[in-house]
Structure 1
Amino acid sequence: MYRLRTSLAALLLLAATLPVEARDYHYSDAHLHYVDFFQESDGMKSLLQAMDKGRIDHVMISGIPVAKKWHEDEPKRPRYYAGDDAAAYWYSATDVLVAAAVKQLSDAQRQRFHPFLSGFNPNDKNADAHIRRMLELDPGLWQGIGEVFTRHDDLTALIDGDTPRANNEAMGRIYHLAAEYDLPVLLHSNITSKRERNPLYLQEVEEPLRNHPHVRFIWAHAGSSMEIHRHQTKMDFLLSTLDRLLGSYPNLYIDLSWSVLEPYLLDADGKPDRRWLTLVERYPERFMLGSDVVGRFDGLGDYLSAYDPFLDALPEAVARKVARDNFLAVLPMKHRSAKEQAQVQADRPGR
Structure 2
Amino acid sequence: MHQLHKHLLATSLALAGSVSLAVYSPVASAETDSKAQSTNTSKHRYSDAHLHIVDFFQEGEPLSKLITAMDKGKIDHAMISGIPLMKKWHEDEPKRPRYYAGDDAGMYWFSATDSYVAEAYRKLPKQDRERLHPFLCGFNPTDKNADKHLRQMLETYPDVWQGIGEVLTRHDDLTALTQDDTPRANNEAMYRVYRVAAEFMLPVLLHSNITSKRERNPLYVGEIEDALAAHPDVNFIWAHAGTSATLHRYQDKLDFLLPALSKLLAAHDNLYIDLSWAVLTPYLLDKNQEAADGWVALINKYPKRFMIGSDGLGSYDKIAANLNEYVPFLDALNKEAAQGVARNNFIALLPKKSVRKILANAHQDTDSL
Q: Same fold, TM exceeding 0.5?
A: yes
Is 2:113 the partner of 1:71? Answer: no
Aligned CA RMSD, in angstroms, stands at 0.9
1:328 is aligned to: 347
- Identity among equivalent positions (%) equals 63
- When the two structures are aligned, how many residues end up with a matched partner? 314
1:254 is aligned to: 273
Query: Cα deviations across residues 45-91 of structure 1 (Å, max 9, x unaligned)?
Result: 22111111111000000000000000011110000000000011000
Is 2:179 the partner of 1:160? Answer: yes
Query: Cα deviations across residues 229-287 of structure 1 (Å, max 9, x unaligned)?
Result: 00110000000000010000000000000200000000011100011000000000000
Is 2:63 the partner of 1:44? Answer: yes
Amino acid aligned to 2:125: S
Amino acid aligned to 1:319: A
Q: CA deviation at 1:23?
A: 6.0
Q: CA deviation at 1:140?
A: 2.5
Query: Cα deviations across residues 130-156 of structure 1 (Å, max 9, x unaligned)?
Result: 101110111121000000000012010
The question of whether the paired residues in 1 share the 8 Å contact of 2:164 and 2:202 is answered with: yes
Amino acid aligned to 1:105: L
Q: CA deviation at 1:317?
A: 2.2
Distance 2:318 2:249 in 1: 24
The question of whether the paired residues in 1 share the 8 Å contact of 2:285 and 2:292 is answered with: yes
Distance 2:89 2:67 in 1: 30
Which of structure 1's runs of 4+ aligned residues deviate more than 3 A?
A: none
Distance 1:23 1:160 in 2: 43
Distance 1:23 1:258 in 2: 20
Distance 2:277 2:73 in 1: 16
Amino acid aligned to 2:233: H
2:261 is aligned to: 242
1:99 is aligned, of 95, 118, 125, to: 118
SS at match of 1:116: strand
The question of whether the paired residues in 2 share the 8 Å contact of 1:23 and 1:312 is answered with: no
The question of whether the paired residues in 2 share the 8 Å contact of 1:28 and 1:327 is answered with: yes
The question of whether the paired residues in 1 share the 8 Å contact of 2:48 and 2:79 is answered with: yes
Is 2:237 the partner of 1:218? Answer: yes
Unmatched runs of 5 consecutive residues or more in structure 2: 1-40, 355-369
1:3 is aligned to: none
Distance 1:38 1:268 in 2: 34
1:204 is aligned to: 223
Is 2:307 the partner of 1:306? Answer: no
Is 2:166 the partner of 1:147? Answer: yes
Unmatched runs of 5 consecutive residues or more in structure 1: 1-21, 336-351
The question of whether the paired residues in 2 share the 8 Å contact of 1:145 and 1:183 is answered with: yes
SS at match of 1:334: coil
1:82 is aligned to: 101
Is 2:290 the partner of 1:294? Answer: no
SS at match of 1:60: strand
TM-score by length of 1: 0.88
Distance 2:163 2:248 in 1: 29
1:227 is aligned to: 246
Query: Cα deviations across residues 201-237 of structure 1 (Å, max 9, x unaligned)?
Result: 0011000000100000000000001100001100000
SS at match of 1:227: helix
